[in-house]
Amino acid sequence: MDRKSDLWFGLCDRDLKGAHGMLQTQNYVLAGYQCHQVIEKALKAYIASLSSDDPPRIHSLPKLAERTGLASEFSVKQKDLINYADHLFIEARYADYKSAILSRLTPEYSKQLIAQTEEFLSWIKKRLSE
């Protein structure tokens, strides 16, 4: 890893702690939003490691995943995570979507989402160390 990707991964770690904190306070919408942030920043860390250019200033997880060149290597579980978390970025920000999110983000599902996010982050870090 290099300095730029280390900075992005530091932000991932901070946001992951935030997701765990939101889970403890039963704020499942923000826990999900934090998971999106972790995945976004992990993808940007990978992109930063490939180029001297800054990662693109976009929030679309599928688009960032394509930019990494890793999308074809993602498992079905990882693809599902990226697609689900991508919706959380928008839905968590707007009040009219929050009720729909709350019906899906149960305490158990939120724990699973955070665990899958942690697994994805570890996978990206491992890819960079290969």
- Averaged over successive runs of 10 residues, the pLDDT of the chain (130 residues) comes to 89 98 94 96 96 93 97 97 90 71 88 98 94
**Residue recorded with tokens 């290099």:** 2
Separation of alpha carbons 78 and 5, rounded Å: 21
Q: Domain residues for 111?
A: 3-129
What is the CATH classification number for the domain harbouring 90?
Answer: 1.20.120.330
**Do the Cβ atoms of 102 and 29 come closer than 8 Å?**
yes
The model's pTM is 0.93
Give me the number of domains the chain comprises.
1
Distances (CA, A) of 49 to 3, 30, 42: 9, 28, 11
For residue 120, give the nearest of 87, 74, 66, 84 by alpha carbon: 74
